[in-house]
Amino acid sequence: MVSKTYDSGEDPWLEISPIYGLTLFIAGGIYFLFKRYQRIKYRAVPFTVKVPAAASSKWTSVVIENPSLESHLMNSSLMPTARVPLLMQGIHHPGSKKADDDTPLYITCFDPSTGYHLDTISADSEYDIAEKISLARRAWAKSRWGESTFNERKRVMRSLLRWVVKNRETCARVACRDTGKTMLDAALGEILTTCAKLEYLIDHGEAALKPESRKSAPLMFYKSSKVYYEPLGVVAAIVSWNYPFHNLISPIIAALFAGNACVVKCSEQVLWSSTWFMGAIRECLAACDLPADLVQLICCYPSEADALTMSPHIKHITFIGSETVGRKILQAASIHLTPVTLELGGKDPCVILPETDLPKWIDVWLRGSFQNCGQNCIGIERFIVHSSQHDQLVKLLTEKTKKLRFGPALAEGSNDGGYVAPVDCGSMISRHRFGDLERVIQEAEEEGATVFLGGHPWKHPYVEEGMYFEGTVVANVSPSMEIAQHERASLI
């Protein structure tokens, strides 16, 4: 072996060939060029969606008398004038539950805060639902979306996030028009939550779906265990009406990021806005050179819903809604052992400990109780307070609730100054629960509770067909009363 020695005044680094430095420089350049190429290739893709006229505060329409989902049956002028393609007509084909009736079914869409007619849209039949599931299956298989890279999936998420941020006010206005909520409720419950979920998927989704190692038992030391997350195919979501944008897009982005196609059934109450939101998502997929049919929107009456929940081609179902409907979905899904995830109702309490500074927190509690007019799955449904502070809390809640201003969120203030915009609370989604709310409040009063404020529907002086219920404060409620046991999702 021969080694070279250096004198004390010599520097060994001086004899390193400059080729090494050049090689490192070229390698670094290639790395940074590759990273830049990746950023450019998978960056957000811009796209546009036409803004609906009804999103404007100056928009007006025909006021429907006592509006409902079937108002078109009482008023033929509300029927659509354009001829609807066969697939979208909602005609009941042979084999469906209503095969003896070939009359197309429609859903009347209206603004619950004003009664304005938004549109009349055809409801899906069992045949339509099966066809949309098939479209999603074919798009998923043809595009090989299940084999897509996480960078390709992040590109879709970035594009959606870019569009939501840029069009946040329009999205909020569309949600307000279809549900009667305020712009603040839409900002908190629709826009911020949606952006947060998109950012989470972009930043952490890949790590959540990467293969995970599992420890083996000592006797199995010669084996290794891993968990792999694989796409299922076509999954379904049945979502509620209280947050039409957030509830629609949340299961879609989760499904797409996991490599699945998604079929969403929206509530009949928010078909108008859901159609526009779904159109934006499909436009995003098209802009990313993906088939728009990866996502499908279904809206039907309950009699046709089994075509979705009992389909053998649906590999997972997510449901947001009541316990009663959740049980029916579980029964239907059990036929093909379809996995189901349920988010059902509750009776969320706000527990106030003794010596709490009530005036300091009263506004926060009101926001928790009356956001979205109480139609909020994580809203406060009841207060549990120490007897020493009971009367003070009731007084504060009554005084604050009495000052709340109700009205249409997108309406401008009246010239006489009687109606001032913006309002504190919008409208309820419909009137069909008003009778039950009054019954529950009356029964609680008969059983010993005290109604300090409200308890009845409220007729707006400027909006005759608006669907408003008084802000209600009920105290001295015992746990055995119905009002304390079941979710009401209202201004109580």
Model pLDDT for residues 95-127, shown as the tens digit of each residue: 444 434 556 799 999 999 999 999 999 999 999
- Give me 462's structure tokens: 């400027």
pLDDT for residue 130: 96
Would you give the DSSP letter of residue 6?
A: -
Statement: residue 402 has pLDDT above 60: yes
- B/e letters for 76-103, b = 16+ CB within 10 Å, e = fewer, are eebeeeeeeeeeebbbbeeebebeeeee
Place 86 in a pLDDT band, splitting at 50, 70 and 90: very low
Statement: residue 209 has pLDDT above 60: yes
| H/E segment holding residue 207 | helix 192-209
Q: How much is the mean pLDDT over the chain?
A: 89
pLDDT for residue 426: 93
DSSP string for 61-110: -PBPSS--TTHHHH-GGGS--SPPPGGGS----TTSTTTT--PPPEEEEE
The 10s digit of each residue's pLDDT in 366-390 is 999 999 999 988 889 999 999 999 9
| H/E segment holding residue 40 | helix 18-41
pLDDT for residue 390: 95
Distance in angstroms (rounded) separating the CA atoms of residues 418 and 462:
9
Torsion (CA) 107, 328, 320, 277 in degrees, nearest 10: -30
pLDDT for residue 136: 97
- Number of neighbours of residue 387 by Cβ within 10 angstroms: 7
Statement: residue 94 has pLDDT above 90: no
Residue from 73, 52, 71 nearest 112 by CA = 71
The residue behind tokens 């029916």 is 328
Dihedral sign for Cα atoms in the order 379, 385, 391, 393: negative
pLDDT for residue 28: 73
The 10s digit of each residue's pLDDT in 216-235 is 888 888 888 999 999 999 99
Q: What is the largest CA-CA distance in the chain?
A: 105
Contacts of 209 (CB under 8 A, 6+ apart): 150, 229, 257, 258
Distance in angstroms (rounded) separating the CA atoms of residues 457 and 440:
13
Contact present, 336 and 310 (Cβ < 8 Å): yes
Place 82 in a pLDDT band, splitting at 50, 70 and 90: low
Place 68 in a pLDDT band, splitting at 50, 70 and 90: very high
DSSP string for 347-416: --EEEE-TT--HHHHHHHHHHHHHGGGG--TTS--EEEE-GGGHHHHHHHHHHHHHT--B--TTPPPPTT
pLDDT for residue 488: 82
- Give me 62's structure tokens: 């025909």
CA 112 to chain centre: 19
The 10s digit of each residue's pLDDT in 425-438 is 999 999 999 999 99
Place 23 in a pLDDT band, splitting at 50, 70 and 90: confident
What percentage of residues in the chain have a pLDDT greater than 70?
A: 88
Contact present, 182 and 409 (Cβ < 8 Å): yes
Distance in angstroms (rounded) separating the CA atoms of residues 230 and 320:
24
pLDDT for residue 126: 94
Distance in angstroms (rounded) separating the CA atoms of residues 244 and 237:
13
- Lowest-confidence pick of 30-39, 151-160, 276-285, 464-473: 30-39
Torsion (CA) 363, 369, 370, 374 in degrees, nearest 10: 170
pLDDT for residue 91: 41
Helix (H, G, I), strand (E, B) or coil at 436: helix
Contact present, 273 and 244 (Cβ < 8 Å): yes
Which residue type, as a one-letter code, is found at position 362? I
* Mean pLDDT computed over 154-182: 96
Residues labelled catalytic: 343, 377
The 10s digit of each residue's pLDDT in 275-307 is 999 999 999 999 999 999 999 999 999 999 999
- Number of neighbours of residue 184 by Cβ within 10 angstroms: 19
- Give me 98's structure tokens: 């209503």
pLDDT for residue 88: 46
The residue behind tokens 């390698």 is 27
pLDDT for residue 102: 57
Please calculate the CA angle 260-158-151 and round it to the nearest 5 degrees: 60
Place 240 in a pLDDT band, splitting at 50, 70 and 90: very high
Helix (H, G, I), strand (E, B) or coil at 18: helix
Distance in angstroms (rounded) separating the CA atoms of residues 367 and 188:
11
Distance in angstroms (rounded) separating the CA atoms of residues 227 and 443:
53
Distance in angstroms (rounded) separating the CA atoms of residues 263 and 137:
10
Tell me how far CA of residue 149 lies from CA of 39, 146, 155, 325, in angstroms: 14, 9, 10, 37
pLDDT for residue 14: 54
